[in-house]
Amino acid sequence: MVEMRIHKVEGIKSFSRLDFPLPPHFVFGSSTSSYQVEGAAFEDGRTPSIWDTHAHSGYTNGANGDIGCDGYHKYKEDVHLMAETGLEAYRFSISWSRLIPNGTGAVNPKGLQFYNNLINELINHGMEPHVTLFHYDTPQILEDEYEGWLSKKAVTAFVAYADVCFREFGDRVLHWTTFNEPNVFAHYGYDFGILQPNRCSSPFGTNCTKGNSSTEPYIVAHNIILAHAATARLYSEKYKAVQHGFIGLDLYAYWYVPYTNSVEDVIATQRANDFFIGWFLNPLVYGDYPDIMKKNAGTRIPTFTKLESRLVKGSFDFLGVNHYSTIQVEDMSISLQMDVKDFTADMAVNLTLNDSNVPQGQLPLNPTGLRELLEYLKNYGNPPIYIYENGQSTIRNGTLHDIPRVQYIQSYIGSLLDAIRNGSNTRGYFIWSFLDVLELLDGYESGYGLYYVDLDDKNLKRYPKLSAKWYSDFLKGSSTSPDQEI
């Protein structure tokens, strides 16, 4: 028996699933996304997305999602595993280019059938489907035609795609997320150029063949916000009265803490929150960007018309949050003096992940960061929140005895309970990820999964890790405490 000391969480002695509200008021689940888990990239009418292009250009350590975990063919087996684990909900994304291969126009019957089958399988096993419409995967045909999200045409195309999803799946799906991590997508895909569609300009990014780091992140974010608002309005006017579902947007959110107690670092920490979270959340709550963003970016950040502001304000029923780490923030106001600036220079901070004592491939354990983040988000009117991603990365070496992942998950769930008892309106918690999937930055070098997938086995056999057993026991009522032994 291996003794495991769990990170102490303030205010939490021990807890179980019964300390949280029961479904449908609160759900525990796990997450994946289409390109990362489905495979079958060239089957049954699917066309490439910008993620296919990105992966085949060598950005993910030579790995790609052509086969992935073969979730396209193995969905029944996977849903059975989810049910055995005790999941109450499953969050997945729809591949736009599998459902509508040309980006607009005709629906692919095979793609439609797959998602109908998956949704039905989940419901038949007693799980809520939580569906994300966009997870870093613009159809490549739209990127080639008009540079994707740099064009207002993408707004129209996305709303039409969402309309198909609502029409075909909305009788069984209640929770819709329009965009996954649009703040990361705009920043890392159009400023640094290290994520799809790999656009940037010197000196802010390297190895990009086109792009403008000074303006494009702001343009893309603006168009995504307008697409989200238009989609929410479509749902409200056409579907909500019959389907009774909910629309949200999913943001990546660090918890930021000042590097020092200096006034400059404290102000810089708020500036980091305004740029990374407020970039999207301020328009959705207040109808406009944070003042500091408009001041620092000037004419490079688009403006909302009065009509757009009214449409955007209040255009969400819940907020999705993807949280993994706490980041130290140091003031870098000197960057505002640069002649040419990008989003990072406008933010004017230096960000540090304190991981000096963390084993390779793992994230630092700082569960109080989740509680503080949820406390901060109460300032936006305490919206309903689903934590759609939270989990621990480890080197993907086949080890099933993943104590660091158990420590991480238990600590963060404890911190979440503390936040709920403190008034947070959080409605769900989803572990990233259900399986070891193709990861956004490093392919198959690391894994976040509750289940290991043997890529060398022709059947891609799934193996439960210790974390899967722990989560299953927790979901089935076992009590857990900071001094638990495993």
Q: What residues act catalytically?
A: 181, 389
Rounded Cα distance between 332 and 329, Å, is: 9
Q: Which candidate, 97, 122, 99, 96, places its Cα nearest to that of 110?
A: 99
**CB contact at 8 A, 310 and 286:** no
Q: Which candidate, 111, 5, 10, places its Cα nearest to that of 412?
A: 10
Instruction: Indicate the angle between helix axes 466-475 and 71-85, nearest 10 degrees.
Output: 50
The string of DSSP codes covering 127-168 is -EEEEEEESS--BHHHHHHH-GGGSTHHHHHHHHHHHHHHHH
Look-up: residue for tokens 């613009």? 138
Rounded Cα distance between 329 and 89, Å, is: 35
Look-up: residue for tokens 């620092």? 296
* Burial letters 26-47, b for 16+ CB under 10 A, else e: bbbbbbbbbbbbbbbbeeebbb
C-alpha pair distances (Å), 294 with each of 33, 291, 301, 337, 451: 33, 5, 7, 16, 45
Burial class (CB in 10 A: 0-12, 13-18, 19+), 264: middle
Rounded Cα distance between 91 and 433, Å, is: 10
